[in-house]
Amino acid sequence: MHCVDSMSRLRRNFVAICFGLSAAFAAYAQDSGSTQVDTAPASSSIRLRQEPAQQQQQDRRQLPYASSAADDKDNALLRRRLPPPVSEFERYARKAANEPDLRRFGYDLVERLQEDRSADYNPSIPADYLVRVGDELVVTLWGSVDADLRLMVDRGGRISIPRVGPVLVSGVRYADLPDVISRRVSQVFRNFQVSVALGQLRGMRVYVTGFADSPGPVVVNSLSTMSQALLAAGGPAASGSFRNIVLRRGKTIVAQFDLYDLLLKGDRSADQILQPDDVIHVGPIGPQVAVVGSVNRHAIFEIKRGETVDDALQMAGSFTSVADLNRIALDRLGNGNANRLLQLSLPESAAMPLVNGDILRAFNAGDLERPAGTQQKRVRVEGEVAHPGEYVMPVTSTVADAVRAAGGLTSNGYLYATEFTRESVRRTQQQNYERALRDLEADINTQAATRRATTAEEANGIVATTAVTKRWLDQLRELKPTGRLVLNLTPSSVELPDLALEDGDRIFVPARPTTIGVFGSVFSAGSYLYNPSRNVGDYLRLAGGPKKGADQSSVFVVRANGTVASSLQESGWFTRGNALASTGVQPGDTIFVPEEMDKTTWIQNAKDWTQLLYQFGIGLAGIKSAVN
């Protein structure tokens, strides 16, 4: 009996010990970050894996900086950021240089970078990056132990690896992390390999002060630099400096950053990586100068003490291909009204120091008109010549010299109809043509405004006439002068006149034509074979003669050489109809019969005379009544 009681107590003690071990193991598992350890035979590896609940909790931790809700709101506000205000010097420089779009250099950098900044916060991790509290490490083990863990660096600067324990990683270089973790794991396991990567970067707060667009605290990630934090604060304000930016760490000035080094030279050596609670201070804007004219970048630049004319030109991208490299204009605000505008010779004045408010203008040498007597002429000779093409002629060359340079005329060349066009003549013709159209339109509008209609029929006629006139004016505006210069050649001419050439002249010698053109108000407009025995009247009869509505007193002939012969030139007191009927023609001439513009029927004339006589009779009756 005593033996049975002893066995019962032993059995109860064993159950209690097993229960206690189970509870202790559960507590250990909970204290170890809810990590399960899968045991297996000695020949297989030990697998460490995180519970799904812990993985979800890890996923719910702070997201990468660029995709956080606060930053989405930040980005939305930045995208709606108004353009920087125009400064007082910008307004002055725009007016003085006549450059309405002149802006401060670098202002568009901030505008372009105020979009979604997510790409900025997924950079590659440099080897000398120091791990800090809040960073997430992705640790992968394989071999005798298998693990894929995402571990956050706690406030003590440690990570906790299951069955290994805490590992101090704060302050360790990113390149040294695998060795540090491998040495700690090797105290527990053998025959394994390890890989370590950064999962997400910690966020940190820095301060942007001074003349920034939005000064104050800014939250950035641990790889952010001075320029990124400055842009996150909106960049320098309109009164802030791009060239005087200081990084302070406690009481120490760590770096002085000049944004022009980045913008003009691509140099980021002074763009330091930030640490928590760093202060980026933007100083006030320094002296400013404007560079305009024939330079590659028109802008307002901030200068430092001692910077020269050459420095400003280099900031502006130097001269364009057509710039005058020998001189430049300087508008110096400090001179007042006396000698305010100066001309500087280059390169003698390239080392001249600039002062606040200077405006430099580079000249365009391509727009300058050179003396005609000192420049060679580039002309184009086409048509019936032996060698058509472009030729560079000496200064004193003439039209005849250009034709001889092209090998002379061919046997089929028609010298009488040579077309000589000149660009300077075309510009003058265009100006005179536009002036004539404006005068004509003004006269037509004045006549339409002063005409009075006594009947509805007359009012409708005025409206219809005005509409037709507007369409006619629109068609006239579409016509463009050609710049042809009439050479006054005769059919017997054998050489072009000794007219001096200009740059850009064009000479076209057509083939000898065999037709005469008849157009306008005739029954059969077209081209007819040339016959030296026929005159203008003969060709009009070949075309069926003028129509009933033709204005025979205004017939004119456009000669092949560009001159015009008109019936009005030959008309007199005793001539009626076509005064050119007996005039001879030359090959290539064109006969034109215009349409009668003022057409009235016999009934309309009779009606007008009847109304006139009626009004005259009423007037006489009124006078007689008044006398009696």
> pLDDT tens-digit profile of 278-330?
999 999 999 999 999 999 999 999 999 999 999 999 999 999 999 999 999 99
First to last CA, the chain: 177
CA angle 49, 50, 56 (to 5 degrees): 145
Kindly provide the residue ranges of all beta strands, DSSP E only, lying in 74-202, ordered along the sequence: 136-143, 145-152, 158-161, 165-168, 192-198
Amino acid at 317: G
pLDDT at 623: 66
Q: Which residues pair with 620 in a beta bridge?
A: none
Element (H, E) at 254: strand 252-257
Using DSSP, state whether 49 is helix, strand or coil: strand
Name 448's Cβ contacts closer than 8 Å, sequence gap at least 6. Answer: 462, 465, 466, 469
How many other CB atoms are there within 10 angstroms of residue 150's CB atom?
A: 18
Q: Of 326, 322, 494, which is closest to residue 418 (Cα–Cα)?
A: 494
b/e string for 120-132 if b means 16 or more Cβ within 10 A? bbeeeeeeebebb
**Cα separation of 341 and 320, whole Å?**
22
Q: Of 180, 181, 176, which is closest to residue 127 (Cα–Cα)?
A: 176
Amino acid at 300: I
**Cα separation of 417 and 587, whole Å?**
9
Name residue, tokens 């000669």. Answer: 559
Helices (H) and strands (E) in the chain, counts: 15, 26
Q: Which residues pair with 139 in a beta bridge?
A: 149, 196
DSSP state of 294: S
**Cα separation of 333 and 95, whole Å?**
13
Q: Of 67, 64, 103, which is closest to residue 85 (Cα–Cα)?
A: 103
DSSP annotation string for 591-610: EEEPBPSS---HHHHHHHHH
Phi, psi of 210 (to 5 degrees): 85, -140
**Cα–chain-centroid distance for residue 215?**
32
Task: Kindly give the parts of the chain with pLDDT less than 70.
Answer: 1-45, 48-84, 110-123, 334-339, 369-370, 372-373, 570-578, 597-628
**Cα–chain-centroid distance for residue 486?**
43
Strand-strand pairing, 323-331 and 389-393: unpaired
Length of the chain: 628
b/e string for 195-212 if b means 16 or more Cβ within 10 A? ebebebbbbbebbbebbb
Q: Of 54, 31, 53, 49, which is closest to residue 142 (Cα–Cα)?
A: 49
For residues 468, 469, 472, 477, the Cα torsion angle rounded to the nearest 10 degrees is -140
pLDDT at 130: 86
Tokens at 285, concatenated: 């804007």
Strand-strand pairing, 389-393 and 46-50: unpaired
Q: Which residues pair with 255 in a beta bridge?
A: 247
pLDDT at 604: 57
Using DSSP, state whether 512 is helix, strand or coil: coil
Contact in structure between 437 and 475 (CB atoms under 8 Å): no
Phi, psi of 212 (to 5 degrees): -95, 160
pLDDT at 29: 36
pTM of the model: 0.59
Contact in structure between 172 and 198 (CB atoms under 8 Å): no
Question: What proportions of the chain, in percent to the nearest 5, are helix, strand and coil?
Answer: 35, 25, 40
Phi, psi of 326 (to 5 degrees): -100, -10
**pLDDT digits 0-9 by tens, 476-500:** 888 888 899 998 888 888 888 889 9
Structural domains of the chain, with CATH: 130-199 (3.30.1950.10), 203-284 (3.10.560.10), 377-451+458-484 (no CATH), 513-596 (3.10.560.10)
